[in-house]
A and B are shown apart, each in its own frame.
Chain A
Amino acid sequence: QVQLQESGPGLVRPSETLSLTCTVSGGSVSSGTYYWSWIRQPPGQGLEWVGYLFYSGITNYNPSLKSRVSMSVDTSKNQFSLKLNSVTAADTAIYYCASYHYVSGTYMFWGQGTLITVSS
């Protein structure tokens, strides 16, 4: 079973860049089975798809975030990463990494989530 674990700074200053890493175990980021995804959830609110990347490097981002988001994969470390620049308080959220099984359209496995607070 695939397991995912997010890691990140916890606190980011406004206008700076949020950087998160997701470490995958029990499976390979080079697997062609999943789109490696980021989903966020502002405190007390619903879920929002941020974006995904495929092991080949193909990416797709939420149109509302596209100008500020980038994702990358490090196959040697079995990790994938998220960068969100020019952050504001509106980017404060729990960020989850997840594996999206594209044949079934399902977020099969999720990390435990990490709270990122944007504040000075």
Chain B
Amino acid sequence: QSALTQPASVSGSPGQSITISCTGSTNDVGNYNLVSWYQQHPGKAPKVMIYEVTKRPSGVSDRFSGSKSGNTASLTISGLQAEDEADYYCCSYAGSYSFSLFGGGTKVTVL
């Protein structure tokens, strides 16, 4: 099964809001509310920022929010800060056969 589709890059100025989309299908994003988002800085392991579409783990800034409509999930970063510059990956449960599908990743640049 193909990876989830994300834009390769998104950029914004400090203080602005940006949204990253993650498009899947009725076999994954559209059928399960088990979408998570991960932030990865260069040379570091991924870190969960959003889980179950909209939930934030303890310690993650409330500037990060998630949503879903149909087969597309989205991550919004509001009040963009320099430290938000990183790669972001979405992930969805896809049933017991494919199990976990990741998006191709989106590089966020703070201008």
Interface size on B, residues (CB 8 A): 29
On whether the beta carbons of B98 and A63 are closer than 8 Å, the reply is yes
Q: From residue 3 to 21 of chain B, which have CB atoms closer than 8 A to chain A?
A: 3
On whether the beta carbons of A47 and B105 are closer than 8 Å, the reply is yes
Q: Is A26 an interface residue (CB 8 A)?
A: no
Q: Give the CA-CA distance A60 to B94 in the complex, in Å.
A: 13
CB contact between B38 and one of A60, A105, A107, A112 (< 8 Å): that residue: A107
On whether the beta carbons of B89 and A46 are closer than 8 Å, the reply is yes
Interface size on A, residues (CB 8 A): 20
Q: Indicate whether A47 sits within 8 Å of B98 (C-beta atoms), given known contacts A105-B34, A110-B46.
A: no
Question: A52, A104, A106: which has the most chain B beta carbons within 10 Å?
Answer: A106
On whether the beta carbons of B100 and A49 are closer than 8 Å, the reply is yes
Interface of A is mostly: strand
On whether the beta carbons of A49 and B102 are closer than 8 Å, the reply is yes
Determine the chain B residues whose CB is within 8 A of the CB of A48 once the complex forms. 102
Q: Select from chain A the residue with minimum beta-carbon distance to B89.
A: A47
On whether the beta carbons of B52 and A104 are closer than 8 Å, the reply is yes
On whether the beta carbons of B47 and A110 are closer than 8 Å, the reply is yes
Minimum C-beta distance from B16 to chain A (A): 25
Q: List 5 A-B contacts (CB under 8 A).
A: A96-B46, A104-B34, A104-B51, A106-B34, A106-B36
Q: Which residues on B are within 8 Å of A, measured CB to CB?
A: 3, 32, 34-36, 38, 44-48, 51-52, 55, 57, 89, 91-93, 96-105
For the complex with contacts A46-B102, A107-B48, 15 further pairs of A-B residues with Cβ separation under 8 Å are A46-B3, A46-B104, A46-B105, A47-B46, A47-B102, A52-B99, A63-B97, A63-B98, A104-B34, A105-B32, A106-B34, A106-B48, A107-B38, A107-B91, A110-B46
Task: List the 10 closest pairs (A to B, CB-CB), nearest first.
Answer: A105-B34, A49-B100, A106-B51, A110-B45, A47-B102, A105-B93, A46-B105, A46-B104, A106-B36, A104-B51
